Amino acid sequence: MILPARVEGSADVFQCPRFVLIKPDWIPDSNSTHCELCNSKFSKIKRKHHCRMCGAVRCSKCCYEKIPLPQLGLQEPERVCEDCREVCGTVTRTRSSIETVLIDASKSLATLCRQEKMVKKVVELGGMQSLIMLAVTDNVNVLGHVASGLHTLSTHPSLHKHLAETGAIKAICRVLSRVGDANEQIAIDAISALMIFCRSQDLKTKALNDGGLHPVLSLCWSEKTAISLLAISTLGLIVEHTDNHAAVFDNKHDAVSRLLRLTTSKDEQIQEVTLKTLAFLSTGGSVYKHKLLQEDFSCGRCLEKAFNSCPANSQILCNAACVIANLATSEEDQMALHDLMTVMCRKLPDAEGHTELTCHLTRALANFSQFQPNTSRLLDAIPIVVNHVLKGGPAAARDQALRFLLNLLGHAPTQVSAILVKNDAEMFLKSLGETNTLIDNVTLSLAQSAPAVMKPM
């Protein structure tokens, strides 16, 4: 088990970089009969010495070197054991005012983070805090090692909470803001670390609050594909929480319009991750759905262009259909969505055999069918839905197909019934009967007007 070093005062060492670690509790002499490093028994000749860094009892052979410990508030050299010496000496050097020493110290810390056996010592002896503290420098070489070290530490899920509390996300954002995409490897290390944090449900909003949005958005438009992909994917993780949508829609960087333009990129990976991010943004409230649709119109109907393209990557169509299906729930925008509704109807037969795409297309039609003014435009889609979804389509899509048909049946019972009679009404009724929860709900509703037990009339 790793017990991260604790500091006096605020745990956020990015805000309070001249931190002082809480001194370790010393193990009582009486509890130690031998040196745990070399296994030598203590005697009158083999004396006991406490390591000032970890508090353990060692022999003189294993605890002889003296190192200044400014991280403990001790300026004079103190005894440090061999187990702590390498990490401790490196952490001490991070307090230097000499740039070459800082570069060497940050490089050593990043290297130690990559050594599985050393991670525990790095975290327990203040190496994590030292990396974060170094992020305030302007030296790009130091920042590169900081990004590398924090990226490595971020791959340990058990450390996420401690890293976030200590200011790691702020440090990463500082690196990204300072370096941008000028140094590709530094940017990739930093944005990769941030993306790992954003996968945690608890840290998405913290990433936003700690300043993650501005550097992430800036890198979304990078001409370096690897950086752009990571940045857009990270943004997508942030906006999985609808509470974070306001910051993106209200951002002064024209974030939504720029994302929409990326949906027509020649790079299909960029298209895919951008549309996935927009799909998350389309799950918010009606105000944001309306804004997204307005931006799409202003940008030249990018969503329709993306959906009408013929990409080799079918996930592009799935993500685009997901966005459109979500937008279809916005009552105030139904007139503006008519062209997209037509496209959904036209594409459904071609989606046969592709489960996810079929589900999103059918869901879009079911959402459009909620609104009575769309009824006349959707009647022609009934045979398509029956033949391509109800007859052997994926189960999730069949449920959406029933929702589509029932909505239309409620709006225009005579017309829809006539169409169903000509297009396998038996399949429709059979599907209804197989949907247990639906039958239960209908029966429950009918029981109100047709009770099982009655008094004489």
Return the structure tokens found at 46. 């083999």
Span 65-70, average pLDDT: 96
Name residue 21's beta-bridge partners. 7
pLDDT in tens, 142-190: 999 999 999 999 999 999 999 999 999 999 999 999 999 999 999 999 9
Q: Does 457 score more than 80 pLDDT?
A: no
| In the predicted structure, residue 431 carries a pLDDT above the cut 90 | no
C-alpha–C-alpha distance, residues 35 and 45, integer Å: 13
Question: Per residue in 355-391, pLDDT tens?
Answer: 999 999 999 999 999 999 999 999 999 999 999 999 8
Q: Which of 73-77, 404-408, 422-426 has the lowest mean pLDDT?
A: 422-426
> What pLDDT does residue 202 have?
87
Would you list the DSSP string of 226-271?
A: HHHHHHHHHHHHHTTSGGGHHHHHT-TT-HHHHHHHHTT-S-HHHH
Q: How far apart are CA 158 and CA 142, in angstroms?
A: 26
pLDDT digits (tens, 9 = 90+) for 178-232: 999 999 999 999 999 999 999 998 899 999 999 999 999 999 999 999 999 999 9
Q: Where are the alpha helices (DSSP H) in 75-167?
A: 82-93, 99-113, 119-124, 127-134, 140-154, 160-166
